[in-house]
Amino acid sequence: MEKATLIYNPCFADNRGVFAPLPLVFGEDKIEILRKDWVQSNISYNPNKFTFRGMHLQEGPHAQAKLVKVVNGSIIDFVVDLRPKSPDYLKVQEFIVTSGSEVYVPRGFAHGFITTEDNTVVQYLVDNHYNRESERSILWSSFPEIRKLIKEQHVDPIISDKDLNATPIHDYLLEPKLIFDTVEWQGRSINNLYNSNFGVVLAGSLMLLTLLCLAILNFLK
């Protein structure tokens, strides 16, 4: 199963500026070649530091893998594995990405980034075309790890209204949805539920319901 990967690329500088190749190779040891049928190249220009974009993904047959590269400036890149069968399910990862590195994001991941310099330009390749019906946005602040890191910057990030009104991760996970070409119920495991506030409420409700049923049975006797 593919993993999100930070790829380091060599940069060559001289009196003219910098030349940075874009090899389709994974990792520093270059042992695994990345071969994708990239269909589109997107450019994101962000004039202001601390601009946040995310967390975004496309579902079902329109899911996208991404190769995210910083052309100018720098970002903190966030990815969340939303593949229920993955050993890293719901794991949040962050990568510091500059002009000398890029991030490979497999299908089935939510993706976003925050700029850490003014005039940051991000280019990313995708292996599937944009599809409005399968596009989803998940509220960035509903991920504790991302919320904590942003809070440490001591700023209010610049965010679009669309991303501010995105679906919280707890609500998103309880919805049936398309993952690649099959319909799966992407709910969290019982262990994950019990480790959240939602899980505590749910567990308490189930306990009260059980006690109520026992009381009714005793009364009927």
Tell me if residue 176 falls in helix, strand or coil.
strand
172 as an active site residue: the answer is no
Identify which of 44, 93, 53, 33 has the alpha carbon closest to the alpha carbon of residue 73.
44
Distance of alpha carbon 162 from alpha carbon 142, whole angstroms = 15
Question: Which is the catalytic residue, given 8, 56, 111, 172?
Answer: 56
Q: Could you tell me the CA-to-CA distances from 84 to 171, 178, 187, 221 in Å, in that order?
A: 15, 12, 8, 45
* Phi then psi dihedrals of residue 118, to 5 deg: -65, 155
Longest dimension (CA), the chain: 92
Residue 78 burial (C-beta neighbours within 10 Å; 0-12, 13-18, 19+): buried
Question: Which is the catalytic residue, given 62, 111, 124, 172?
Answer: 124
Return the structure tokens found at 167.
């679906």
Beta strands in the chain (DSSP E): 5-8, 12-14, 17-19, 25-26, 32-33, 40-46, 52-58, 66-72, 75-81, 92-97, 101-105, 109-115, 120-126, 135-137, 176-179, 182-185
Residues with catalytic function? 56, 124
